[in-house]
Amino acid sequence: MYFSICLLLALFLDKVFGEAKHFHPLVGFGNLATDLEHKLNSGSGKRLKGIIALTFLLVPTVLLAFYLELLTLSEPIAHVAFASFVLYTALGWQSLKEHAEAIIEPLTKRHLGEARKKVARIVSRDTKHLTPEDVASASTESVLENGADAIFSTIFWFIVGGIPGVVLFRLVNTLDAMWGYKNTRYKDFGWAAARLDDVMNYLPARLTALSYALCGQTRSAFQCWKTQGKLWKSPNAGPSHGCWSWCT
């Protein structure tokens, strides 16, 4: 009952208010992560430095979340309100929906330049030369993958670990988005963040894929998951993309 009430309240807040435009907790965390990366990500031993940075950012914040959860346990209403608010700030349902709709509108009106600009906000690739089909494909892939991160995984870790669990997941996912690139700058420094994000998303990503499969041609979806899922570079993106091929 507790988790259901918190989830309903969080989804309601997300539906009504969407992503907080000002004073979002992750903004301050992101700024701190950026400053720390600038100071540590140089010279030798980048992988070790990345692990140190990850630990420094995660441990105090998760411990604080655990303390605040304990502090509110004696007051059920306050505890539900606090947990719902934390879950709301971690969810990205409405934000993801708005980003997708922002791409659909110019794409359907054949305003390709505008569609490329909009899709650039949710993908890391160069979008300047994408065809309309490429834009549609890139946006669909991003929505599928972020649907697992922003919705399914967030809810999963809230159910498993309560407030500390969802805080840990959202922070790890944020650091992966900031540092998890396989380029010269981040390949070693962001290794720990990327691997931890893979671990935390492993089971939720497959539950997401299962939900996609159950929404359409289930047997074909599982076959597609088996044959195509392993072709993706990301260990967690493949299952959801594979299953989606047979959902509609």
Residue-level pLDDT at 137: 81
Q: What is this structure's pTM?
A: 0.86
- Calculated CA dihedral for residues 80, 83, 89, 93, nearest 10 degrees: -70
**Distance from C-alpha of 33 to C-alpha of 54, rounded to nearest angstrom:** 9
Query: How many Cβ atoms sit within 10 Å of the Cβ of residue 75?
Result: 11
Residue-level pLDDT at 241: 58
pLDDT along the chain (248 residues), means of 10: 92 86 80 96 95 97 96 94 95 85 88 88 80 85 80 94 96 94 93 96 86 74 68 67 52
